[in-house]
Amino acid sequence: MIVERIAIEGYRCFVKSATVAGFGAGLNVVSAPNGTGKSTLFEALRRALIDHHSVSGVEAEKMRPWGRSISPSVTVDFAHGALRYRVHKRFLDDPSCELSRWEGDDFVVVDRGERADEKVRSLLSRPTAPKGLSREAHWGLAQVLWAPQGMIELGPLGPELATRVRETLAAQVVGARGAEIERMVEERFRAFFTPQTAKLKAGKKAPELVRRSEALALAKTAVDRARERHERAALTQERVGALRAELVRAERERSERGAQLAEREASLRAFDAKVSARAEAEQRATVAEAGAKSAKVELDAWRNGKAQLQERERRQADAVIALALAKARRDEAAVEVAAASERESRAARAHGALSELERLYRAARERARAEAVLADCDARIAAIDLEILRVEESRAALVPDAPTAADVASMRALEAARSSAKARLDALALTVTFDAKSPVTIEHEGEAKALSAGETLTLRALGALSAALDDRVSLTVRGPLSGPDAREAEESLQASAAALGALSRRFSASSADELDSLRAKAAAASMELRARERGLSTLGGAQARLALIERCREAVSTLELVVTDDRSESALAAELERARIDAEASGSIRTSAEARRDAERALAEREVAVAVAEERVSSCERATGEARAALDELARRGKSEAACQDAFERAALSLDVARVALSKSALELEGRAEIERAVREGVAHCARAEADALALRDAARTEEGRLDELVSGATFTVLARAEEEVTRLESEVARLEVEAEAVKLLREVLVRCRDEAIAKVSGEVERAAGRILGRIATGSSLEVELGETFAPTRAWVGAREGEGVALERLSGGEREQVHFAVRLALAEVLASEERPMVVLDDVLVATDNARLARVIEVLEDAAKRMQVIVLTCHPERYATAREATWISLAR
């Protein structure tokens, strides 16, 4: 589409009519200062070409010049292909649209109203705007080709437009021939399937396959029905067969039951005949029994009499033997009584001896105990006496005025003082030592001392010392005079000697050690006394002694009282043991007395037994006599024994015969009740068998009726025909299914291959945009990635490697250049069919002049394939354009 002229009236700032004309087919630069309605012109162009003439609403109201009620109108002349058109739209009040075509000398109306709207839109771009123009996404192709003021950025394309772009790309990939085939495939597909869900179509437009499948389903139902009937026929046949077999069995059962019943009734009659026969036999048996009984009585009289006599004789003999036995037992008992008396007296003796010995033994033990007590008391008294004596001795050994430890201490102190004083005096004294080489006598202070050879003598004196040696030598030694020290030592010596003397005298001890020894001795004596006193008190002291003396006295009186013989206690103990054994051996006195009494009682009993036995012997003799008399009486009175025997045997024989006959009939006659029950059961069985057979006959008849009905329906023939129909339809459906599946598969594969090819081609758009960018920014090329909706998403500076840069991270200039390049690249791709029109309204404002110069070159190049309209308020920026048509709105 190439816009040639735009006329506008009553539209926003254009209250009066205004016309912009002279657009070229290539690059057009429309210049106008700010506020001269450049963008209004652009909007009016858009409304004229895209919008519905009947548009309304707040947004549309803005078309009306401010404060006026006139209706805006726009007229655009444009060329499309070889034809020229004019569209005139009037908005808001009394809206209208009119599309005219240039026919030689004038524009002639081709369409009006909505249809004219539609036609214009289709000339401009295929996907038409469905709603108002407030959203860019509704602009259709204009979204790509028209950049509104300052809005070079290309948002995501609307879904239809994205599809259109993709289709356009695909058309390039596929080519016209391929598209034609694709269209045919799609058409073929839609003959079978719904395009969205890819399901087989239903209803009036359903393919043959669906109709055949439905027919097949129906045919299958018919088969199911026919098969059900056919199977029912088979089942009914089986049932009839079973019922007939059952009926045969039932009939047999019925006749068997009848025969059985007749048999049972016959046996009942036979039974009753036997009952009367038995009564007769019973009668005969009774008579025979009576005869046998009387014969037996006679015979038994004989037999019993004889047996009785024998028995009584035997008893008599027994009684005689019993008497002898009783007597012998009585004699034995008398002997036993004597022996028991003897044992009793022996036991009495043994027990007497034992008691005496026990008494003696107890006395001996008592005496021994008393003697022991006496000895013990004596010993303890002696011990106490000894202790008393010792206490006396200790008490006597006690020293009356014994030195104390203090005394010892003071004496030691005095001795120390004395020796100290003596030492000090010694230190002050003159000392002369004589060492004899040969015997010599030394006289000193009037005292002579003879020394043998080798002896020494040392002399000491204060101040001066004189000695004479064997009267031959007189020696005097003088020293310096001793001062107060000597005096003081002298005094101390004398004082301590005096005190020591006093103490020595008092305790008759010459030294402190001696004094200490005295003190120790006194202390030991005192301790000894205390120990003895403690010992004495342990023994009980004098009181205990008195008690002991008392006990001695008691023991002595005991000894005097106890009587005993000379035997010792142990001897007595041994004898006592022996006597005890004796006593035990002869048993207790009471036991032996009882034994004796028992023996006496036994003797008395046996005496009685003897008497009884004698009595029994005489009674048996009497009975024997009686029995013998009875037999004699029997013989005298009637038949002999042999005759009786003979009569009895005959009677017994006839009784046996009668009894055998009776028992035989008895055996056969048991169980009449059972036979009667069997007959009753037989009757019931017959009735039941009859009923069963009848029921079966009815059931068989019913089933046969059913079978006849099914048979006349020829179920197999019907089934066979139905199955044939199903098979025929199945093969047809299978054939159609293959066809449908094949068409589906063909479309699926084709769509897949096309999508793959398009994916390759949208790479072409990216590359084209990249080439444009390369031309704009020589030196630093940019690569671009397009998203699913063809909006650029990322860019790479230089080669397309790594993550790239998100578009919003680019500088403003670069970003608008990217969008510009993508728009242009898309326009190039879409330009394949009809020369498109690109409108750029004051865009690329952030692009520097150097780059803009290269943008202009790019635009000039693009203008060979499309109309480019640039609206700007800075026409000087496009001064480098060589082949532009310049249009100024200032006028």
Partner 1 sequence: MGMRAAHAGAAAEQVRAARIDAAERVAAAARARAADFVVLCGDTFEDNQVERALVARVVEIMASCRCPVYVIPGNHDALVPGSVWGDGSFARAPTVRVLRDESPLDAPGGVTLWPCVARARHDERDPTLWVRAPSDGRVHVLLAHGTVESVHYEEPWYPIARDCAERARVDYVALGHFHQHLEYVGGDGVARMAYSGTHEPTRFGERDPGQALLVSIEKAGDRPSIEPMVTGALRWLVVEATLREAGDVARTADAVRAMGEGAQTLMRLKLDGYLRVDEQDALVSLAEMVRERFLFGRVESALRPAPTDSAWTRDLPPGPVLDAAKLLAQWAEPSFDGRPSHVSAEVAARALLELYSMASTGE
Q: Interface with partner 1 by CB under 8 A: which residues?
A: 173-175, 177-178, 180-182, 184-185, 188, 230, 233, 236-238, 240-241, 244, 704, 707-708, 710-717, 719-721, 723-724, 726-728, 731, 738-739, 741-743, 745-746, 749-750, 752-754, 756-757
Q: Do 367 and 498 contact (CB within 8 A), yes or no?
A: no
Place of tokens 């409108």: 839
Considering the complex, state which of residue 154 and residue 758 has its C-beta at the smaller distance from partner 1.
758
Helix (H, G, I), strand (E, B) or coil at 434: strand
Shortest separation between residue 701's beta carbon and partner 1, angstroms: 12
C-beta closer to partner 1: residue 45 or 233: 233
User: Who contacts 886 (Cβ-Cβ below 8 Å, separation ≥6)?
Assistant: 28, 29, 31, 875
**Tokens representing residue 282 in the block:** 């019973």
Residue 224 CB, shortest distance to partner 1, in Å, is: 16
**Least spacing, CB of residue 185 vs partner 1, in Å:** 7
Q: What CA–CA distance (Å, rounded) separates 456 from 865?
A: 168
Q: Which two tokens stand for residue 38?
A: 């450049």
CB of 667 to partner 1, least distance (A): 50
Angle, helices 208-397 vs 589-637, to 10°: value is 130
> How far, rounded to the nearest angstrom, does the alpha carbon of residue 850 sit from its chain's CA centroid?
82
Among residues 670, 672, 682, 667, which one has the least CA distance to residue 268?
672
Residue-wise DSSP of 725-737: HHHHHHHHHHHHH
User: Minimum CB separation from partner 1 for residue 229, in Å?
Assistant: 9
Q: What angle do CA 543, 546, 549 make, to 5 degrees?
A: 150
Give 242 or 687: the residue with its C-beta nearer to partner 1.
242
Per-residue tokens: 200? 């087989």
- Token code pair at residue 748: 């699926």
Burial of 610 (0-12, 13-18, 19+ CB in 10 A): buried
CA distance 264 to 273: 15
For partner 1, the closer of residues 129 and 174 by Cβ is: 174
- Least separation in angstroms between residue 744's CB and partner 1 is 8
| CA dist., res. 326 & res. 610, Å (int) | 5
Least separation in angstroms between residue 45's CB and partner 1 is: 38
What's the 3-state SS for 458-513? EEEECCEEEEEECCCEEEEEECCCCCHHHHHHHHHHHHHHHHHHHHHHHHCCCCHH
CB of 208 to partner 1, least distance (A): 16
Residue written as token pair 């031959």: 472
Q: Which lies closer to partner 1 via its Cβ, residue 536 or residue 710?
A: 710
At 223, which helix (H) or strand (E)? helix 208-397
Closer to partner 1 at the Cβ: 112 or 232? Answer: 232
How far apart are CB 820 and partner 1 at their closest, in Å? 31
Cα 540–Cα 545–Cα 551 angle in degrees, nearest 5: 115
Closest CB 122 distance from partner 1, rounded Å: 26
Distance in Å, CB of 722 to partner 1, minimum: 10
Residue 238 or 598 with smaller CB distance to partner 1: 238
Least distance to partner 1, CB of residue 689, Å: 23
Residues 772, 858: contact at Cβ < 8 Å? yes
For partner 1, the closer of residues 316 and 762 by Cβ is: 762
Nearer to partner 1, 247 or 381 (CB): 247
Distance of closest approach, residue 49 Cβ to partner 1, in angstroms: 34
d(CA 268, CA 673): 10
Q: Toward partner 1, which CB reaches closer, 184 or 275?
A: 184
Compute the least distance from the CB of residue 172 to partner 1, in Å: 10
CB of 698 vs partner 1, minimal distance in Å: 16
Minimum distance, C-beta of residue 196 to partner 1, in the bound complex (Å):
20
- Enter the tokens of residue 794: 């990322």
Q: At what angle do helices 512-539 and 405-428 cross, to 10 degrees?
A: 170
Any idea how long the chain is? Answer: 891
The phi and psi torsions of 250 (rounded to 5 degrees) equal -65, -40
Looking at 670-714, list the stretches that DSSP marks H as alpha helix, in order from N- to C-terminal side. 672-712
Please report, for residues 271, 665, 790, the alpha-carbon distance to residue 276 in angstroms, rounded to integers and kept in the order given: 9, 10, 130
Give the C-alpha separation, 696 to 698, whole Å: 5
Nearer to partner 1, 282 or 739 (CB): 739
Q: Dmax of the chain from CA atoms?
A: 209
Contacts with 887 (C-beta within 8 Å, 6 or more apart), sequence order: 20, 22, 23, 28, 29, 30, 31
Strand-pair category, 83-90 with 18-21:
unpaired
Which is closer to partner 1, CB of 265 or CB of 732? 732
To partner 1, the closest distance from the beta carbon of 214 in angstroms equals: 20
* Closer by beta carbon to partner 1, 237 or else 517: 237
Residue (193 or 648) nearer to partner 1, CB: 193
Secondary structure of 265-297 in the HEC alphabet? HHHHHHHHHHHHHHHHHHHHHHHHHHHHHHHHH
Residue found by looking up tokens 């439905």 in the block: 214
Of residues 184 and 653, the one with the C-beta less far from partner 1: 184
Query: How many whole angstroms separate alpha carbon 622 and alpha carbon 605?
Result: 26
String of DSSP letters for 111-134: EEHHHHHHHHHHHH-SSPP-S-TT
Q: Which is nearer to partner 1, 732 or 834 (CB)?
A: 732
Q: Which residue type is seen at 531?
A: A
Judged by beta carbon, residue 173 or residue 555, the one nearer partner 1 is 173
- In terms of CB distance, is 740 or 824 closer to partner 1? 740
- Helices 208-397 and 641-669 cross at an angle (nearest 10°) of 130
Q: How many CB atoms lie within 10 A of CB 270?
A: 11
- Residue 786: CB minimum distance to partner 1, A: 21
